[in-house]
Amino acid sequence: MSVISYIEAISKGLWEEMERDSSVFLLGEDIGEYGGAFKVTKGFLKHFGNDRVIDTVLAESAILGAATGAALAGMKPVAEMQFADFVTNGFNQLINNSASIHYRWNLPVPMVVRLPSGAGIHGGPFHSRNPEAWFFHQPGLKLVAPATPYDAKGLIKAAVRDPNPVLYFEHKRLYRHVKGEVPDDDYVIEIGKGDIKRPGSDCSLITYGATLHPSIEAAALIEQQDGVEVEVIDLRSLAPLDKDLILSSVRKTGKVLIVHEDSVTGGIGGEIAALVAEFAFDHLDAPVKRIGAIDTPTPFAPTLEEYFLPNREKILAALKELAAY
């Protein structure tokens, strides 16, 4: 067991999968000599060679098209979008080709798309998006969003071994801000399974990605201040959702707060709220609440970005409202 950062966990998981399976290879912009924009693949080119670590042109559509073709040919590509925002340039490849081939032709498409996403690093509107909801609606794609180093390593390894496309959302702010214990041995985390990061009996807080951490802090504060026990669920996997875990928690607590960094309108939280309303309405003691970013582009200015994003104080205030209802 080692204590490593979130970014080191992603890198170790990729490294181990490339050592384990010679059909795994990487492609993306500046991932070779430069080691990637955030250095996830630093040292990979020297060790694995330029047949398995391929620097591409700046063309996301070409990267995703090549990855899809290679997957059909029996390889296991891991394609890096330098910033998740730019996946828009490859949207057609992902939606019309990668996501639907298995359904149309009954052929496996074992590919991973790594998407460095999220705000909190003052990257402004072109480098801070949380685009998971765009793909959440599309059958044929699996979506994962780890929040801890342990989950980051286990999910990247599971994604590489999956027989069909997996979008791996890795939050840039977590790269070097979060550390944790990670087994040195081989392990995977099953895609589609969430995790209770903090047990509780008075309210269910459902979250994923970067907002897990302020959610846990807010849950600890309200217990300390008001004696309210909040159960914090880390979804980890967005598609498929762990519906059983969500509903069993809601039926236990009767109150629900959904927190994600993406904007509230059209975000994944809306689907979770609908799920709770359809299958656990009789167990609710209060209206379902949601917290997300404000419905605007991400501001550059640090003070405005802080105002724009969910944070511990906003989550704590919402929990207190729920507790008092």
In angstroms, how far is CA 148 from the centroid of its own chain? 10
Instruction: Choose the catalytic residue: 127, 171, 213, 260.
Output: 127
Is 137 assigned a catalytic role?
Answer: no
Cis peptide before 240 (omega within 30 of 0): yes
Which helix (H) or strand (E) covers residue 311, if one does?
A: none
Name the nearest CA neighbour of 206 among 297, 285, 145.
145
Q: Are strands 76-80 and 112-117 parallel, antiparallel or unpaired?
A: parallel
Which amino acid is it at 136?
Answer: F
Alpha helix positions (H), the chain: 6-20, 44-48, 60-72, 91-92, 101-105, 132-136, 149-161, 212-226, 243-253, 268-279, 302-308, 312-324
Check if the beta carbon of residue 194 is closer than 8 Å to that of residue 250: no
The CA angle 92-126-164, to the nearest 5 degrees, is: 35
* CB proximity list for 242: less than 8 A, separation 6 or greater: 192, 193, 194, 235, 236
**DSSP structure string for 254-285:** S-EEEEEEEESTTSHHHHHHHHHHHHSGGG-S
Which amino acid is it at 110?
Answer: P
SS3 percent helix, strand, coil of the chain, rounded to 5, is 40, 20, 35
Enzyme catalytic residues: 127
